[in-house]
Structure 1
Amino acid sequence: MKRQKFSPEFREETAKLVVEGNRSIAAIAREHGLNETTVGNWVKKYREEHAGEEEPPLELSERARLRELERENRDLMLENAFLKKAAAYFAKEQR
């Protein structure tokens, strides 16, 4: 499969939709037909490049809460993937 190339301007504008528009990475990725990981990487890079300009650095408690939420999100995503596989398995067995 051929990798698609995106201009730096497109990457930045997409990341700005998440950061400045307070919209989720998943929603923006869906709207533009992009992979969530790709958009997430663009957002991370955008935030690193614009760290001092728009957002104040996170407090220690905010960073801890962010890590907690990221861990919870990972756990829920794994659980969701497992449940989808289980549902597909049982649906296939009932045919």
Structure 2
Amino acid sequence: MATGGVALSLKEFHVMGDTRRAFTAEYKSQAVGFVLDDDRTLAEVARNIGCHEYTLGKWVKKEREARDRARADQPVSESERAELIRLRSEKKTDAATIAQLEMQVAFAKKVAAWFANEQR
């Protein structure tokens, strides 16, 4: 099958009463590459290569997990460490701001309810 100018080889086999297709590791790798590396949508790639979105989604999920494990094994660089510190600090500041705004909203609701009761 051809997808975006790249030919993918499909290996199919049939067992009596079974219509399941088997895909080669190379086929899966190329299909996943279209989604992860070429920024194509899962639906688009599945439609183009002729497999179900759920099947391709499982392949993509498996590859993402493998890539995440590979990244987790690498040490964090100084710039990444500095960014983590900055983001964690921003998270704390944002959480405090959100808590303050939620208190203000709760107070405003109470004031509105009080005025509504006074109008009666």
Q: TM-score, normalised by structure 1?
A: 0.52
- Aligned mates of 1:7, 1:33 — CA distance in 2: 14
Q: Please say if 1:26 is aligned against 2:43.
A: yes
Alignment length (residue pairs): 55
After superposition, residues 66-77 of structure 1 pair within 5 angstroms as none
Shift of 1:48: 1.0
1:16 to 10, 19, 33: 33
Shift of 1:8: 1.1
Where does residue 24 of structure 2 map in the other structure? 7
Shift of 1:50: 1.4
Larger RCO: 1 or 2 (CA < 8 Å, sep 6+): 1
2:53 to 24, 36, 50: 36
- Aligned mates of 1:10, 1:49 — CA distance in 2: 17
What is the RMSD computed on CA atoms of the aligned residues?
2.2
Q: Secondary structure at the match of 2:55?
A: helix
Q: Secondary structure at the match of 1:4?
A: coil
Q: TM-score, normalised by structure 2?
A: 0.42
AA aligned to 1:29 is A
Where does residue 75 of structure 1 map in the other structure? none
Unmatched segments (≥5 aa) in structure 1:
54-58, 62-95
Instruction: Give deviations 1:66-86, integer Å, cap 9, x for gaps.
Output: xxxxxxxxxxxxxxxxxxxxx
Unmatched segments (≥5 aa) in structure 2:
1-17, 73-86, 92-120
Aligned identity (percent) is 33
The structure whose Rg is larger is 2
AA aligned to 1:3 is R
2:62 to 45, 48, 52: 45
